[in-house]
Amino acid sequence: MRWISTAMLLMAAYTTWAQERHIVELTDKRATTFSLSRPQEFLSIRSLDRRRRQGILIDSSDLPVCAAYIDSIRSLRNVSVLNASRWLNQVAIQTGDAQALKRIRSMPFVKRVSQASYRSMTRSEDDDLMEENFTNAPDRTLDAKGTVLNYGLNRPQIDIHRGSFLHDRGFRGQGMVIAMLDGGYERYLTNPAFDSLRRNGKVLSTWDFVAGGSSVNEDDAHGANCLSVMAANMPGKMVGTAPDAQFLLFRTEDVASEYPIEEHFWAVGAERADSLGADLINSSLGYTEYDDPSMSHTYADMNGRSTMVTRAANLAVTKGMIVCNSAGNSGSSRWKYIGAPADGDRVLAIGAVDANGVPASFSSYGPSSDGQVKPDLASVGAGTFVALPGGTVAQGNGTSYAAPNMTGLIACLWQAFPDLTNHEVMDAVRASANRYLSPNDRTGFGIPDMSAAYGILERMRTYRRQEMLLGQDRIRAYPVPFTRRMHLLFRPRQTGTITFDLIDANGRVIRHLEMTGTSGVMISTEIEELDGLPAGSYVLRYAEGTDAGVLRIQK
């Protein structure tokens, strides 16, 4: 046996003691100096605009954690305050001083103190990347819409979703802000894949919530790989799913270890994304089992609402953002199931398929423990093309890459319909997927089709505008005067058969329509081929059951 001096043993104990991290949950925000009537003091204009567009009210969860409570905790000897979560109303601290912890627990505004990690360090992990020699894909030609992107090697992972339908119409992420929560973005400041990202100032903010500080360039490469799936712009070699979007790059994951403190960092990162006005969050992270088994989750915890990180992810969606999270890579392991926050009932969990749509064996299974369809969707995560830190394009495996592939395309879709809500966009993407009517536990609702999702949202927006045009009226016909066709909006009072008759000045029925309607649900239809009718006055007679009426119109 090798002997260790007492001094050395004490030093080792002190190091472990000093690195313990804890979560301090607070009881309230009564001592806050902020007010819901002055949200501009803690939320950006862009964040407030996102809420306004979607009719989202500001509530107490938006208020910052009370500074007085934080100051009281910080004032204790041997205690460092790391950061605070306003949504969860809690503070992360670093200490191993038992007396300090005892004093914190006795504070009247403290609900609970729980240990969240033993240490914090940094190391790099392999990302299952397979470097090969590739050739450029053929150039695509121009079409009537303008320059078509020359995707290069990753074209199949765009085409599986018909993503070029959006890109060719000019929807490439302009004006959309995507926040990334990951383990680091190694050499993104020099990676050739991100030349245009840097040149055009598309990285709006960076922050390292694990170590503190604004630099994320020297940490793990995983986040940069995921970023490249969306933001790479190397025509003929690799072009991402949202090459013109703007990004927030946040490090919330400590790749050196696995402890619940990272769930807290995720929450704080999501809150920063919210306050800066992000539209979407891409998270290629998941939490199930920890280095200390006593802290681990069980499958029963994957119920869409229990874990710290899942509660934060759900709250992010209630604030008007879309959260896309990798389903997990445990499909072939003992765990097998999705992790948190992919289980979130408001989160889009993304499973992995290859470019041919075949589910990847490693992709985590659903459902969530409460029976939700999980994953929600699937994208290319097997043999996904990514840009390595030096700009080399390689293939990687993982739902980590399926998530950003989907996130970027959803950003482009939402760009086309900025007046619609996050839930409307998410519902349309689900409805566009190839297994929407028969979801399973491998790919959920399946592989989305961006062209189909666009059509769903276009019809939704048209219907909404027609509802506004009809207002409180029962029937409306336009244009007035009508020409080649007449558009009809009608709100039935009964469920059943409805008839419309267009009658000329001589009392002749010159057009007849018959359809089925539902009480209170607006009908939108057209009477066509009217260009041969003479100008003059006409009557539109409508009837449902014994209820009838007329509308006088001109041509």
SS (H, E, C) 56-79: CCCCHHHCCCCHHHHHHHHCCCCC
In angstroms, how far apart are the furthest CA atoms of the chain?
Answer: 113
How many angstroms separate the Cα of 327 from the Cα of each of 301, 395, 462, 513?
15, 19, 34, 49
Number of CB atoms found within 10 A of residue 59's CB: 10
- The length of the chain, given as a count of residues: 555
Q: Which of 177, 395, 397, 364 is nearest to 286 (CA)?
A: 364
Number of CB atoms found within 10 A of residue 79's CB: 19
**CB of 540 closer than 8 Å to CB of 553:** yes
Number of CB atoms found within 10 A of residue 100's CB: 17
* Residue pointed to by tokens 């504070």: 107
- The DSSP secondary-structure symbol of 535 reads S
What pLDDT, on a 0 to 100 scale, did the predictor assign at position 2?
26
Q: 3-class SS at 142?
A: coil
* CA gap 6, 552 in Å, rounded: 100
Q: 3-class SS at 272?
A: helix
Instruction: Evaluate whether 16-117 and 475-554 have a shared fold.
Output: no
pTM, to two decimals? 0.87
The gap from C-alpha 362 to its chain's centroid, in whole angstroms, comes to: 22
Q: Which of 322, 382, 313 is nearest to 343 (CA)?
A: 313
* CA gap 402, 351 in Å, rounded: 7
* CA dihedral of residues 271, 273, 276, 279 (deg, nearest 10): -120
Omega of the bond leading into 479 within 30 degrees of 0 (cis): yes
**CB of 352 closer than 8 Å to CB of 379:** yes
Q: What is the dotted CATH code of the domain comprising 475-554?
A: 2.60.40.380
Residues 6 or more apart whose CB falls under 8 angstroms from that of 3 comprise none
Torsion over CA: 204, 209, 213, 215 (sign): negative
Two structure tokens written together for 464: 């909404």
**CB of 517 closer than 8 Å to CB of 498:** yes
* CA gap 525, 523 in Å, rounded: 6
Ordered per-residue pLDDT tens for the chain, 555 residues: 322 222 222 233 333 344 699 999 999 999 999 999 999 999 999 999 999 999 999 999 999 999 999 999 999 999 999 999 999 999 999 999 999 999 999 999 999 999 998 754 333 333 333 333 333 334 333 333 446 789 999 999 999 999 999 999 999 999 999 999 999 999 999 999 999 999 999 999 999 999 999 999 999 999 999 999 999 999 999 999 999 999 999 999 999 899 999 999 999 999 999 999 999 999 999 999 999 999 999 999 999 999 999 999 999 999 999 999 999 999 999 999 999 999 999 999 999 999 999 999 999 999 999 999 999 999 999 999 999 999 999 999 999 999 999 999 999 999 999 999 999 999 999 999 999 999 999 999 999 999 999 999 999 999 888 999 999 999 999 999 999 999 999 999 999 999 999 999 999 999 999 999 999 999 999 999 998 899 999 999 999 988 999 999 999
* CA gap 83, 98 in Å, rounded: 20
Ordered alpha helix ranges (H), 359-421: 399-416
What pLDDT, on a 0 to 100 scale, did the predictor assign at position 128?
39
* CA gap 15, 8 in Å, rounded: 11
* CA gap 404, 196 in Å, rounded: 18
* CA gap 253, 423 in Å, rounded: 27
In the sheet with 523-527, reading across from the earlier edge strand, the strands are 475-478, 486-490, 523-527
Fold observed for domain 16-117: Alpha-Beta Plaits (3.30.70)
Two structure tokens written together for 249: 């790059």
Number of CB atoms found within 10 A of residue 1's CB: 3
Q: What is the pLDDT of residues 455-494, one digit of tens each?
A: 999 999 998 889 999 999 999 999 999 999 999 999 999 9
Domain residue extents for the chain: 16-117, 144-463, 475-554
Residues 6 or more apart whose CB falls under 8 angstroms from that of 541 comprise 500, 501, 503, 548, 549, 550
Fold observed for domain 144-463: Rossmann fold (3.40.50)
What pLDDT, on a 0 to 100 scale, did the predictor assign at position 19?
65
In the sheet with 547-554, reading across from the earlier edge strand, the strands are 509-517, 496-503, 537-544, 547-554
Q: What is the pLDDT of residues 11-29, one digit of tens each?
A: 333 333 446 999 999 999 9
Q: Which of 205, 533, 229 is nearest to 380 (CA)?
A: 229
